[in-house]
Amino acid sequence: MKRRITFSGEHKNLEDIVNFYNLCKSALLKYKENIKKGLEIPEEFIGFTSEELDQYFRNKIEELETLICLDLLAAVEAKLRIDYLTRVKNRKKDNLSRIFRSIYKERKARVSLDEDILENWKEQHPQAKKYISDYKSALQFRHWLAHGRYWTPKLGRHYDLSTVYTICKNLVKSLRI
């Protein structure tokens, strides 16, 4: 009996993720301002100096940005995997779809994002090579985040929200996924 993957419909688009970030950041900043104005002072903030309060909220916003980076990178992975499975199912005739069907015969949905999906995209669409390489490099950051950040990563560059969003947006646009 064939076993197919049913798409959940819960995958996210990049703009929704960034909008959620903006909403959360605004809420954190408003909360900080309310504390500074004395409108509400939760017990955990009693005795904080203004500088300590600012640093506390800077740290929270930085953590929010990191979590949003993970969400962005995962959302693009979902788009790539959905595209892979859709190409297999719809039996498209382009070279990439044929390659994906060949991989699917051997491994089904258990494909390597890096070696099977991204490398084949790169070979079949060389105009997207830079964007694919940027995303592949950012996957090291994603793996570090997803596995609990217990080691010091050697990333080769700093990844912040703006950088990760740009990488993800460029890849999605370039591949039209």
9 within a domain of the structure (yes/no): no
7 within a domain of the structure (yes/no): no
5 within a domain of the structure (yes/no): no
Residue-wise pLDDT for 81-133, tens only, equals: 999 999 999 998 999 999 999 999 998 889 999 999 999 999 999 999 999 99
8 within a domain of the structure (yes/no): no
Residue-wise pLDDT for 30-43, tens only, equals: 999 999 999 989 99
Q: What is the rounded distance in angstroms from the CA atom of residue 31 to the CA atom of residue 3? A: 49
Helices (H), 37-49: none
- In which domain, by residue range, is 154 found? 14-175
Based on the structure, what is the number of domains in the chain? 1
- Whether residue 3 has pLDDT greater than 70: no
1 within a domain of the structure (yes/no): no
Contacts for 75 with CB less than 8 Å, ≥ 6 apart: 11, 12, 13, 14, 17, 168
**Residue 59: both structure tokens together:** 């740290």
**Residue 4: both structure tokens together:** 């197919």
Backbone angles phi, psi at 11, to 5 degrees: -65, 150
47 within a domain of the structure (yes/no): yes
**Residue 85: both structure tokens together:** 């499975």
162 within a domain of the structure (yes/no): yes
Q: What is the rounded distance in angstroms from the CA atom of residue 162 to the CA atom of residue 149? A: 20
138 within a domain of the structure (yes/no): yes
